[in-house]
Chain A
Amino acid sequence: MANAFVTKGLTRTYGEGRSAVHALRGVDLELPEGEIVVLLGPSGCGKSTLLNILGGLDRPTTGSVHFHDEELTSLSDRALTRFRRDHVGFVFQFYNLMPSLTARENVELVTEIADNPMDPDEALALVGLKGRSDHFPSQLSGGEQQRVAIARAVAKQPEVLFCDEPTGALDSATGRAVLEVLAEVNARLGATVLMVTHAANIAGMAHRVIRMADGQVRDVTVNETRLSPAEVHW
């Protein structure tokens, strides 16, 4: 299978001199298309930094990132925005919904600017929120808000879905429902899902698990048998 992302010698340093923080210290990775990839590691190991660089939100200090045949590190700000707009969906720990838009309008926010979006209602149905599409975020529970965020991320039919601690602010039952949606999206749309978490049990549902520590990749394991989200406990 073709690779969605290939990184070579990726480093990221914040600050200079003695106060410099080395968030990434040389990361070489190949991420095949269509997989669920879980990035595991303790706080400060560099996993969010890696996610941000792959997602076009940050740039590496040295090294290169290829998305298919395109080198992300050489893109202008404008082109990076274009990259995010056309290829990438984001799901955040704190959902980041627009409070002034209803669930459907939050999804439409993305479908209005995407090239090949799905129907917003279809996206909401995918996450099981068809009946609540006219509700504002303030009228939804945390899990529902996160599902709207996922619907918003997948509605543009992205090639890659980035999820930074998507279950971090949720209880386990709600979290499991969210994971089910992510697995469904991966299976039905074939989108690559890259999920950052420090909940090790989630790794069971991934195709591939990357463990990080001190800004480096410690090991990459490929799960022969995957758990269904319903079997995940944390």
Chain B
Amino acid sequence: MSVLDRKLLRDLVRIKGQVAAIVLVIAVGVMLQVMMSGLVASLSETRRAYYERNRLADVFAPVTRAPETVLARLAAIPGVALLDGHVTGGALIDLPGEAVPIQARAISLPDRGEPVFNIVYRIAGRLPEPGARDEALLLAGFADAHGIVPGDRIAVTLNGARRKLLVTGLAESPELLFVAAPGEMVPDPARYGAVWMPRAALAAAYDMQGAFNEALIALGRGASQDAVIDAVDRVLAPWGGTGAYGRHDLVSDRFVTEEIDGLATMSRAVPPLFLAVAGFLLYIVVNRMVQAEREEIGLLKAFGYTGHEVGAHYFKMVLAVALMGAALGCVLGILAGRAMVPLYTTFYNFPFLVFRPDPAAFGIGVTASVLAASAGGVFVLRRVFRLTPAEAMRPPTPPDFSRTLNFSGVAARAFDQPTRMVIRGVARAPWRALALSAGIAGGMALSSGMTTIYGSFDRMMALAFTVIDRSDATVFFVQPLGMTAAHDLARMEGVIAVEPFREVPAVLRHGLRTHRGSVSGMIAAPEMARAIDADLAPIDLPERGIVLGEALAGILDIRPGDMLQVEVREGRQPVLEVPVIRVARSLIGAPAYMRMDALNRALAEPGRISGVRMRVDSDRAEAIYDDLKNRPAVAAVSVAETARASLQKLMDQGAGSARYIMGAVAFIITFGVVYNAARIGMNERARDLASLRVMGFSRGEAGFVLLGELAVITLVALPVGSLAGWGLSFAIARGFSSELYQIPTEFDPFSHGFAAAFVLGAALVSGLLVKRDLDRIDLIAVLKTRD
């Protein structure tokens, strides 16, 4: 090891506190990058592997009832590689502890061997006996949520007939990674179940002997999904086909995709911002550190080292710090990613999930830190080349303050000498002070931006459940009913008000863009569920036309005035051409609103409703839900409170949970920046401070000179950082928003106040840490040495 390298190591040890702070800041920035992109890569890869291994179908074609002979005609469609027809149907699971029966799906298992598609992944127990009529596999997530284990019996209503089924085992399936009851926007394993039963038993229950009601299709290589779907729809039309759809319209896949895409958006958008602030800090610190080494550089040159050698020495030092940070960040990123894996595995119902870091993330993290370090290094080199050896030999020239401020008149009386030192310190090198201020402002921006996002999540919940939908519960009917059904429910004791609605599944098309969702038919001036505009004012639904939620308008790339094609997938399946009247603010899902009477006219089903929203007397709520459970017309009841809890869980355990890590990282970076700013001040002023102490200034008085500058640049940084944080919160909110939920952003004084308090607190703690060094400063040593 050369002497210079040994000097480098010792220098690093000497300034270890500051090195540690910089390394930490870079490390958490890189960590976030590695962890987030690693999670995205891992989730995508796991999903792909799981779909492939358990053969998730490419196309799903539901039909009312088609004889098995039709399968041959489907198989003949060009592009269909593999085909199967199975039996599936809606079911209700009635659990003793639950106020309302829970919606579920029953799916057939082949009498012999494995299913061709959507192979269930059995976690516990055994498969049902092939001939058994009352045995079933139960969806594992659902069983866990309700504490059901193999061997238990559950009451299940299949096609109107109630049965006691023996749960023989628990299973998961690639088509049911995420489950949400029809009509519910938020997935929740507790709120939707699935049972798998032998084909014969299920066919008997649903009257499907010799027939199927859903065809599953694998596409051949290079086959056009749209062409196959068109052909399948034509074949199945006479048998009541309700429209085939591809994998990406499968509810479960759509949820998973939304979540992974959300994480991907965030991993692209947010960590670079964090890295940028970390890099900027590195740049500032390196720049200032080398300025302080001026004489050593002159000395080395005097000994005969060339400018390049000395430059390389300092460059190495910078690089060492950057690489330490990057390396630590990579390790932390992997550890954090590994720690997150079990959470996501549970949440996404993957039977397995391997954390595989994205190699590109290492590259980006390391490159970003090295680039930032190099930017600082360029200044290092410039200075090194410019310095003459003689500078080290000359007595130190005091830095020139002659072009700063002169204090006369009132100012002379107002400011004592220590205050003037602080003011001139800032005024002499305003750009240096501004750079530090910008660094702290960056930290403030990250902190206030993230705190705003925390608040936005809460605000989203509050708006969604108190402004957009103010009902206590939503009742879904088994099939559309007349208005009398609503009047019946309104007469129940404890029901304060009911509001009927019509909800029909539909495919919405605009140009090449399509969205498989539903259209909500609403009464003229709804009181409970409402379309609202940006100012939270309810939108009057017009007689003709449709109002779309923001998210949906985005998906379809459609603006008010454009025509939207609505292919209704219920009843006589009309295709409507309706103008988009307005875009409403939406927070959950991607709703489309129409007037109920207009929708019913189009369906030629006047006066039909799909269900009602209701407000109930909270004292009577339990009794009302109990009563509803026993009404055969009721398919499901969604209680607002439960939906709210599910949404909270989704936001806290799914992609939204990243906000907590990002918030923590933002605060760590902020502290690192502030601490370094304080440290720099101490390094550059040690001599002046020691002189003050010798002259009889107390620790507090000397501390004022040291920390005054920090206070000034921190106070300047706060409003600037706050403004930047406001802008940043929009970008972060966009990253967190998906079709599942959208995060609103607005200026939130509390968040900015909180972040400002944190920055001030960080400045205070940093000040105290640095002041501790001032207290321990060796007065004699500092006075004996020159700057």
Stretch at the interface among B400-408, B441-449, B508-516, B539-547: B400-408
Asked whether A25 is an interface residue with its Cβ less than 8 Å from the other chain, the reply is no
- Chain A residue contacts of B402, Cβ below 8 A: 135-136, 138-139
The CA-CA distance from A28 to B35 in the complex, in Å, is 69
- A101 x B421 contact (CB < 8 A): yes
Total contacting residues, chain B, CB less than 8 A: 35
Within 8 Å of chain A (Cβ to Cβ): is B608?
A: no
Q: Given A96-B691, A138-B400, A139-B402, does the pair A101, B697 have CB atoms closer than 8 Å? A: no
Does the CB pair A112–B416 fall under 8 Å?
yes
Give chain B interface residues in 760-787, CB to chain A under 8 Å. Answer: 779-780, 783-784, 786
Take A101-B417, A169-B395 as given contacts and tell me if A85 and B697 are in contact as well, using a CB distance cutoff of 8 Å: yes
**Docked-complex contact A100 and B416, CB < 8 angstroms:** no
B783 in contact with A96 (CB, 8 Å): yes
Compute how far the CA of A136 lies from the CA of B428 in the bound complex, rounded to whole angstroms: 12
For the complex, give the distance between the alpha carbons of A139 and B400 in Å: 8
A188 located at the interface, meaning its Cβ lies under 8 Å from any Cβ of chain B in the complex: no
Interchain nearest-CB distance for B404 vs A (Å): 7
Interface 1/0 per residue, A77-97 and B, CB below 8 Å: 010011111101010111011
**CB contact between B695 and one of A58, A100, A110, A145 (< 8 Å): that residue:** A110
- Give the residue of A86, A90, A106, A136 whose beta carbon is less than 8 angstroms from that of B694: A90
Q: Which of A52, A85, A94, A105 contacts B780 (CB 8 A)?
A: A52
Judge if B409 is at the interface, Cβ distance under 8 Å.
no
Residues of B within 8 A of A82 (CB): 696
Residue of B at shortest CB range from A106? B417
Contacts of B400 in A (CB 8 A): 99, 136, 138-139
Residues of B within 8 A of A97 (CB): 398
Decide yes or no whether A229 CB sits under 8 A from chain B: no
Interface membership of B424, Cβ < 8 A: yes
- Nearest CB on A from B114, distance (A): 79
**B687 adjacent to chain A (CB < 8 Å):** yes
Asked if B2 is at the interface (CB within 8 A of a chain A CB), the reply is: no
The answer to the question of A35 belonging to the interface, with a C-beta cut-off of 8 Å to chain B, is no
Which of B417, B691, B696, B701 is A105 in contact with, Cβ under 8 Å?
B417
Known: A57-B780, A100-B421, A101-B420. A145 touches B698 (CB 8 A): no
- Let me know if A109 is at the binding interface, CB within 8 A: yes
Query: Given A97-B398, A100-B404, A108-B417, are A86 and B780 neighbors across the interface (CB < 8 Å)?
Result: no
Given contacts A78-B698, A110-B695, contact A94 B395 (CB under 8 A): yes
Q: If the complex has contacts A57-B779, A92-B783, are A85 and B401 also in contact, measured as CB distance less than 8 A?
A: no
Q: Contact mask B413-452 → A, CB, 8 Å, 1/0?
A: 0001110110011001000000000000000000000000
B428: chain A residues at CB < 8 Å are 100
B399 within 8 A of A: yes
Residue A142 CB within 8 A of the other chain: yes
Chain A residue total in the interface (Cβ 8 A): 41
B693 within 8 A of A: yes
Complex contact B395–A136 (CB within 8 A): no
How close is B243's CB to chain A, nearest CB, in angstroms?
78
| CB-nearest residue of chain B to A99 | B398
How far in angstroms is the closest Cβ of chain B from A82? 7
Report if B397 contacts A (CB, 8 A): yes
Q: How far is the CA of A100 from the CA of B396 in the complex (A)?
A: 15
B688 within 8 A of partner (CB)? yes
The reply to whether A99 and B696 contact each other, CB–CB distance below 8 Å, is: no
Determine the chain B residues whose CB is within 8 A of the CB of A41 once the complex forms.
none
Interface residues of A in 112-144 (CB under 8 A from B): 112-113, 134-139, 142
B697: chain A residues within 8 A (beta carbon): 81, 85, 113
In the complex with contacts A109-B417, A138-B399, A138-B402, A90-B695 CB distance below 8 A: yes
Output the nearest chain B residue to A86 by Cβ-Cβ distance: B696
Complex Cα spacing A83 to B695, Å: 10
Q: Does A112 contact B399, Cβ atoms closer than 8 Å?
A: no
- Is A189 engaged at the interface, CB distance under 8 Å to the other chain? no
In chain A between 11 and 62, which residues have their CB closer than 8 angstroms to a CB of chain B?
A: 48, 52, 55, 57-58
Return B416 CB to nearest CB of chain A, in Å: 6
Cα A90 to Cα B783 with chains together (Å)? 11
**Nearest Cβ distance between residue A61 and chain B, in whole angstroms?**
15
A98 within 8 A of B: yes
Task: List which A148-184 residues lie within 8 A (CB) of chain B.
Answer: 152, 164, 169
B691→A81 contact, CB < 8 A: no
A101 contacts B424, C-beta separation under 8 Å: yes
Chain B residues 372 to 402 lying within 8 A of chain A, measured CB to CB, are 395-402
A105 B786 Cβ-Cβ under 8 A: no
Asked whether, in the complex, the Cβ of B424 is within 8 Å of the Cβ of A100, the reply is: yes
A186 to chain B minimum Cβ distance, whole angstroms, is: 20
Closest A residue, CB atoms, query B415: A105
Which residues of chain B have C-beta atoms less than 8 A from A90's C-beta? 694-695
Provide the residues of chain B in CB contact with A136, threshold 8 Å.
398, 400-402
Expressed in whole angstroms, the minimum distance between the Cβ of B385 and any Cβ of chain A is: 24
Residues of the A chain whose Cβ atoms lie less than 8 Å from the Cβ of B420: 100-101, 105
Alpha-carbon distance A31/B65, docked complex (angstroms): 117
Q: Which residue of A lies closest to B418 (CB)?
A: A109
Give the docked Cα–Cα distance between A182 and B501 (Å): 99
B407 to chain A, nearest CB (A): 8
Interchain CB contact under 8 A, B399 and A94: no
- CB <8 Å contact, A138 and B395: no
Chain B, range 713-741, C-beta contacts under 8 Å to A: none
Q: Which 4 A-B pairs have the closest CB atoms?
A: A85-B696, A99-B398, A137-B398, A138-B400
Q: List 24 A-B residue pairs with CB atoms under 8 Å apart, sorted by A's residue number.
A: A48-B784, A55-B694, A57-B694, A81-B697, A84-B694, A85-B696, A92-B691, A94-B396, A96-B694, A98-B417, A98-B691, A99-B399, A100-B399, A100-B401, A101-B401, A108-B417, A109-B418, A112-B417, A135-B402, A136-B398, A136-B400, A138-B399, A138-B402, A139-B400
> Contacts A81-B697, A82-B696, A94-B783 given; 12 further ones with Cβ under 8 A?
A48-B780, A57-B694, A81-B698, A85-B697, A96-B687, A99-B398, A100-B421, A110-B696, A112-B416, A135-B402, A136-B400, A138-B397
